[in-house]
């Protein structure tokens, strides 16, 4: 991935519910007493008014005032606002109670037999009948075979009866007012009903991965409000490969972890450090995204962190500690070493000078995760021509693009260690006029059986003179593939062509990736005719399709 130094202003207050240590804080049973004195260890619901040092404060969000954190109202403007009426919560008026006990004479009670009366519930309302061609957004209710369902997110073609607990449809109730048939006590012979086999769905849902840069952004940007629900993964960029992160330190600043959030960035006036509150807020925002269905990975490396010797000091335990403390779901390895030279031999003899380095990175990380039962996934950022230039294959130099200095650098690690990698985010861009992203995808597919996410680089950034466009203007999505003509391929680098190709020629669980989520915000506006974060994402969501609400947008956030 490329890294640009950009500017922007941090958000002003917390937008996600606070979750300590990656686990939700349970709401307190019942309302807080009006103007009760603030105390540690209490869970306060949003809108609760408390008293602290003689002043009243109103809770902005539901949270727990964990002991030892000193999250008092005066010190945490992200949690409390000054002021508030003590009359917002009704106060119960106690009734005087006499201290003299009143003797009670027991009254014998004769049990009265009660005959159960069957109650027929009123019929539930039926909704419009579900159709396989209908398009349904989140919250829409339909009826299918006498059962009501509600859409959890945008969906088309998903049978509600086969949705299950985690699918796009939530089962509500039956409808139509059928009268229940009385049941006679005692065993009744039941004739088995033939079961129609259900064709299993693909091995996994299609992914939509977005890299979120941390430089000149705020940790509070990482929220469910700013990131559309159709994003299945967010890769937080970037972590230092040589990080010395210590478990439990919550040192998420640039000096230690590598993140360049405004709250922890290196500045001309010195290195900023995360406060305890900011560290907790970042963890809470990650947890809120995960609860919504968007997993957050930490992405290690990137172009700037890959040009020195940092990968030589890669330490898997430190990386896993950081991911676990953040509450992340996985680790993305964005190894962009520019000093690896390949012999371009045949499949049996092909090798590159830094095969050992990347193999050790993947293997040590995989072993650390599994030895600790950390439950983290591993993805890699696959270079555009990373599986090219193997003699005797369709991707041999001369049959595909000539002259890429990085051709084949990912071949050995993917072929020999692919079982340790959960999915690949293919950087199918930055390869020049002759690079064909479809051929790049096929080169990885030939040596890797897992999901591959086709990459799109949002304009105006676009190395290799390629600018991502939204549609192809009529170009066939599968034309001029692997012809050996080394043709100019830029007409095929557009969202419509790539979506059609993956949908028709790819595997059922292949998806898409974009670099990057904040592109239009941290760069200038995209040129005329270019795809944007929103137009590209919504097109993929609607046409691949993806789970989630395809109407969601990345908001226009202010720049510094």
pLDDT digits (tens, 9 = 90+) for 385-397: 999 999 999 999 8
Residues 81-98 as b or e (16 or more Cβ within 10 Å = b) = eeebeeeebeeeeeeeee
- Across the range 549-555, mean pLDDT stands at 94
> Which of 79-93, 199-213, 225-239, 267-281 is the least confident region?
79-93
Identify the CA nearest to 299 among candidates 373, 413, 380, 418: 380
Q: 208-543 adopts what CATH topology?
A: TIM Barrel (3.20.20)
Residue 414's H or E segment, with its range, is helix 411-417
pLDDT digits (tens, 9 = 90+) for 60-71: 777 777 665 567
Residue 126's pLDDT is 92
Q: What is the pLDDT of residue 3?
A: 41
The confidence score (pLDDT) of residue 205 equals 84
Instruction: Between 15 and 391, name the one with better pLDDT.
Output: 391
What percent of the chain shows pLDDT beyond 70? 78
Confidence of residue 431 (pLDDT cuts 50, 70, 90): confident
Burial 167-189 (b: 16+ CB within 10 A, else e): bbbebbebeeeeeeeeeeeeeee
pLDDT for 406 equals 82
Residue (of 361, 377, 359) closest to 313 by Cα position: 361
Question: Where do the domains of the chain lie?
Answer: 135-174, 208-543
Is 60 exceeded by the pLDDT of residue 24? Answer: no
Reduce the DSSP state of residue 359 to 3 states and report it. helix
Domain at 135-174: CATH code: 2.10.10.20
| Inter-residue long-range contacts of 485-489, CB under 8 Å, 24+ positions, other chains counted | 486/398, 486/399, 486/400, 486/401, 486/402, 486/434, 487/434, 487/436, 488/433, 488/434, 489/433, 489/434, 489/435, 489/436, 489/437, 489/439
Mean pLDDT of 343-363: 95
pLDDT at 30: 40
Q: What is the mean pLDDT of the chain?
A: 81
Q: What is the DSSP string of 138-204?
A: TT-EEEETTEEEEESS-EES--GGG--TTSSEEEEEE-S-PPPPP--SS----PPPP-PPPPPPPSS
More confident residue, 370 or 176: 370
The answer for residues whose C-beta is within 8 angstroms of residue 341's C-beta and 6 or more apart is 352, 353
The pLDDT, as a whole number, for residue 261 is 94
Cα(425)–Cα(203) distance, integer angstroms: 18
pLDDT of residue 462: 64
Cβ(263)–Cβ(12) below 8 Å? no
The total of other beta-carbon atoms located within 10 Å of residue 264's CB is 25
State whether residue 521 is helix, strand or coil: helix
Better-scored residue on pLDDT, 36 or 442: 442
Q: Is 518 helix (H, G, I), strand (E, B) or coil?
A: coil
Better-scored residue on pLDDT, 222 or 104: 222
pLDDT at 425 over 80: yes
Under DSSP, is residue 538 helix (H, G, I), strand (E, B) or coil? helix
Residues 386, 406 contacting (CB under 8 angstroms) = yes
pLDDT at 475: 84
pLDDT in tens, 69-114: 567 888 777 678 888 887 544 333 333 433 444 444 444 444 444 4
Q: Is the per-residue pLDDT at 235 higher than 90?
A: yes
The secondary element (H helix, E strand) that includes residue 536 is helix 533-543
Alpha-carbon separation of residue 348 from 235, 344, 392 (angstroms): 34, 11, 10
Cβ neighbourhood burial of 540 (10 Å; 0-12, 13-18, 19+): buried
Q: Which residues contact 276 (CB under 8 A, 6 or more apart)?
A: 69, 250
The pLDDT of residue 68:
58
- The stretches of 274-393 forming alpha helices (DSSP H) are 276-292, 316-326, 355-371
| 319 has a pLDDT exceeding 90 | yes
Which residue, among 316, 360, 357, has the nearest Cα to 336 in the 3D structure? Answer: 357
Does the pLDDT at position 333 exceed 70? Answer: yes
Query: What is residue 97's predicted lDDT score, i.e. its pLDDT?
Result: 36
**How do residues 247-302 score in pLDDT, each as one tens digit?**
999 999 999 999 999 999 999 999 999 999 999 999 999 999 999 999 999 999 99
Element (H, E) at 522: helix 519-522
Residue position matching structure tokens 């449809």: 169
pLDDT class of 40 with cuts at 50, 70, 90: confident
Tens digits of per-residue pLDDT, 455-483? 999 987 665 567 899 988 778 899 988 87
Q: What is the pLDDT of residue 255?
A: 96
Average pLDDT over residues 144-173: 79
């Amino acid at each position: 991935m490329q890294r640009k130094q950009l500017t922007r202003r941090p958000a002003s207050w917390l937008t996600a519910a606070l979750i300590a240590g990656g686990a939700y804080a349970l709401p307190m049973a019942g309302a807080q007493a009006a103007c009760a004195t603030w105390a540690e260890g209490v869970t306060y619901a949003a809108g609760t008014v408390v008293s602290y040092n003689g002043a009243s404060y109103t809770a902005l969000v539901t949270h727990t005032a964990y002991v030892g954190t000193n999250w008092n109202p005066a010190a945490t403007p992200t949690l409390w606002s000054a002021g508030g009426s003590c009359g917002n919560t009704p106060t119960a008026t106690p009734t005087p109670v006499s201290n003299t006990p009143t003797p009670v004479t027991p009254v014998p009670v004769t049990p009265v037999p009660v005959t159960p009366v069957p109650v027929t519930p009123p019929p539930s309302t039926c909704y419009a009948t579900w159709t396989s061609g209908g398009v349904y957004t989140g919250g829409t209710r339909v009826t299918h075979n006498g059962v009501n369902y509600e859409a959890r997110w945008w969906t088309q073609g998903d049978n509600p009866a086969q949705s299950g607990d985690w699918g796009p449809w939530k089962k509500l109730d039956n409808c139509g007012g059928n009268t229940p048939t009385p049941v006679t006590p005692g065993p009744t012979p039941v004739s088995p009903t033939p079961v129609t086999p259900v064709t299993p769905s693909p091995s996994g849902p299609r992914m939509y991965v977005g890299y979120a840069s941390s430089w000149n952004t705020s940790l509070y940007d990482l929220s469910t409000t700013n990131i559309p629900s159709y994003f299945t993964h967010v890769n937080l960029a970037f972590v230092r490969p040589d990080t010395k992160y210590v478990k439990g330190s919550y040192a998420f600043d640039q000096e230690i972890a590598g993140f360049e959030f405004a709250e922890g960035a290196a500045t001309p006036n010195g290195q900023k450090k995360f406060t305890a509150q900011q560290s907790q807020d970042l963890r809470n925002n990650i947890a809120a995204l995960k609860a919504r269905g968007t997993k957050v990975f930490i992405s290690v490396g990137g172009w700037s962190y890959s040009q020195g010797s940092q990968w030589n000091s890669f330490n898997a335990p430190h990386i896993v500690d950081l991911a676990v403390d953040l509450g992340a779901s996985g680790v993305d390895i964005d190894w962009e070493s520019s000093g690896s030279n390949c012999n371009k031999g045949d499949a049996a003899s092909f090798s590159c000078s830094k095969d050992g380095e990347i193999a050790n990175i993947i293997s040590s990380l995989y072993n650390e995760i599994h030895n600790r039962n950390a439950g983290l996934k591993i993805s890699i950022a696959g270079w555009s021509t990373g599986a090219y230039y193997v003699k005797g294959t369709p991707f041999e130099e001369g049959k595909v693009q000539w002259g890429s200095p990085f051709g084949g650098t990912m071949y050995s690690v993917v072929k020999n260690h692919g079982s340790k990698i959960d999915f690949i985010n293919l950087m199918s861009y930055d390869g020049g006029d002759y690079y064909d992203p479809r051929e790049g995808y096929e080169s990885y597919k030939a040596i890797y059986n897992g999901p591959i996410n086709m990459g799109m680089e949002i304009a105006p950034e676009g190395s290799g003179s390629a600018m991502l466009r939204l549609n192809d203007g009529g170009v066939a999505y599968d034309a001029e593939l692997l012809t050996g003509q080394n043709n100019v391929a830029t007409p095929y680098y557009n969202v419509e062509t790539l979506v059609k190709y993956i949908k028709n020629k790819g595997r059922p669980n292949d998806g898409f990736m974009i670099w990057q989520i904040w592109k239009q915000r941290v760069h200038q506006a995209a040129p005329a005719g270019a795809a944007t974060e929103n137009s590209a994402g919504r097109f993929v969501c609607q046409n691949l399709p993806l789970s989630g609400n395809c109407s969601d947008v990345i908001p226009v956030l202010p720049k510094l």
